[in-house]
C-alpha cells in the first residue's frame, strides 16, 4: 500500500517537473511542520496551492479553477502535486492517502504529475491509479523522504 521509490506510472517527469517536485516537497514539509497539511501544488516554480483542512481533493479543485495561464491544461500539462506526511503526525495510524480520485483531479487541474513520498504515503487501489495515470497522461512518482528537507 505504501508508495515505492521512483517512477510508478505514466511518462517520466522532465527536469522542469522534477524541479517543481522538489519545490512542492519542500513547501509540503514546511507546512507540515506547522501542522497545516500534507500537500502542495507547484507549477513552473510558483506555489499554486497548499493543502489545509479542506484536504487534497478540494485543493486540486481550487487549482483547476485557477487561470490556465498559470497552470497546465490537457495537452500541455504542467505542475506537480506533492504529498508527504507531516513531521508532527503519528505515522502508524495517520498517513497521507492518494487514490484514483487524486489522479483524476490532478489531471483535471492540468497537472503533469503526482509526487508521493516513498514509504510515507498510501496508494489506495494502486493498479487502478497506475491505469488512470497512463490513460490521462500524468506521472506518479515516489520521491525520497530527504527531498525538500534541509
Q: Rounded distance, CA 113 to CA 108, Å?
A: 11
How is residue 89 annotated by DSSP?
Answer: S
Q: Rounded distance, CA 57 to CA 26, Å?
A: 20
Quick one: pLDDT at residue 120?
93
Quick one: pLDDT at residue 75?
87
Quick one: pLDDT at residue 150?
64
Quick one: pLDDT at residue 9?
98
Which residue has cell 497546465?
72
- Residues with Cβ < 8 Å from 37, sequence gap 6 or more? 28, 31, 50, 51, 52, 53, 59, 86
For domain 6-143, the CATH class is alpha beta
Query: Nearest to residue 112, comparing CAs of 8, 12, 6, 37?
Result: 12
Write out the three cell numbers for 13: 517527469
How is residue 77 annotated by DSSP?
Answer: -
Q: Where are the domains of the chain?
A: 6-143
Q: Rounded distance, CA 81 to CA 61, Å?
A: 12
- pLDDT tens-place values along the chain, 150 residues long: 899 999 999 999 999 999 999 999 999 999 998 989 999 999 999 999 999 999 999 999 999 999 989 998 888 999 999 999 988 776 677 789 999 999 999 999 999 999 999 999 999 999 999 999 999 999 999 999 998 876
Tallying the residues shown for the chain, one arrives at 150
How is residue 4 annotated by DSSP?
Answer: P
Amino acid at each position: 500500500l505504501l508508495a515505492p521509490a521512483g517512477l510508478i506510472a505514466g511518462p517520466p517527469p522532465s527536469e522542469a517537473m522534477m524541479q517543481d517536485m522538489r519545490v512542492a516537497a519542500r513547501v509540503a514539509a514546511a507546512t507540515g511542520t506547522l501542522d497545516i497539511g500534507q500537500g502542495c501544488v507547484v507549477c513552473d516554480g510558483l506555489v499554486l496551492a497548499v493543502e489545509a483542512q479542506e484536504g487534497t481533493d478540494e485543493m486540486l479543485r481550487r487549482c483547476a479553477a485557477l487561470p490556465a495561464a498559470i497552470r497546465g491544461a490537457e495537452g500541455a500539462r504542467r505542475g506537480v502535486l506533492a504529498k508527504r506526511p507531516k513531521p508532527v503526525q503519528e505515522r502508524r495510524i495517520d498517513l497521507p492517502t492518494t487514490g484514483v480520485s487524486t489522479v483524476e483531479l490532478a489531471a483535471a487541474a492540468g497537472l503533469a504529475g503526482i509526487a508521493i513520498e516513498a514509504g510515507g504515503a498510501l496508494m489506495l487501489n494502486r493498479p487502478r491509479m497506475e491505469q488512470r495515470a497512463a490513460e490521462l497522461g500524468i506521472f506518479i512518482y515516489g520521491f525520497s523522504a530527504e527531498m525538500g528537507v534541509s
